[in-house]
């Protein structure tokens, strides 16, 4: 069922170079992919987390074919907040994007229900 560089493999203890060897399973080529990058429109009522025993998380919304990559959300949106969320398994990129030292610009748009006083507006603009 498995061939590597057109050689049938009958034992499970062989090694491959994912970016060099041609690997087929049942005649279908397998491509190695180390990282994934997903954009998810997070709905309200879902946690920006990888797991929770009581509530639905953004990872629960993903298709089964990406779960083996162990993606996680880059940053957080409150449970009742809707918006675009990046999920990846690329820890270096996530750290780069989230590190205050890197000063990666982020833009948030908010629709506020009700009236904001001046103190609320200042706190909102400063991200408090």
3-state secondary structure the chain: CEEECCEEECCCCCCCCCCCCCEEECCEEECCCCCCEEEEEECCCCECCCCCCCCCECHHHCCHHHHCCCCEECCCCCCCCCEEEEEECCHHHHHHHHCHHHCCCCCCCCCCCCCCCHHHHHHHHHCC
Residue numbers annotated as active site: 78
């Amino acid at each position: 069922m498995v061939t590597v560089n057109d050689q049938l493999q009958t034992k499970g203890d062989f090694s491959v170079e994912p970016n060099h060897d041609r690997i087929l399973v049942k005649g279908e080529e397998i491509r190695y992919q180390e990282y994934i990058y997903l954009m998810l429109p997070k709905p309200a009522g879902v946690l920006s987390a990888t797991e929770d025993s009581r509530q639905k998380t953004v990872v629960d919304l993903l298709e089964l074919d990406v779960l083996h990559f162990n993606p996680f959300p880059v940053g957080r949106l409150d449970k009742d907040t809707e918006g675009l969320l990046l999920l990846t398994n690329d820890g270096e990129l996530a750290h780069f994007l989230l590190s205050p030292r890197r000063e990666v610009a982020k833009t948030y748009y908010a629709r506020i229900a009700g009236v904001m006083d001046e103190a609320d507006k200042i706190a909102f603009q400063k991200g408090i």
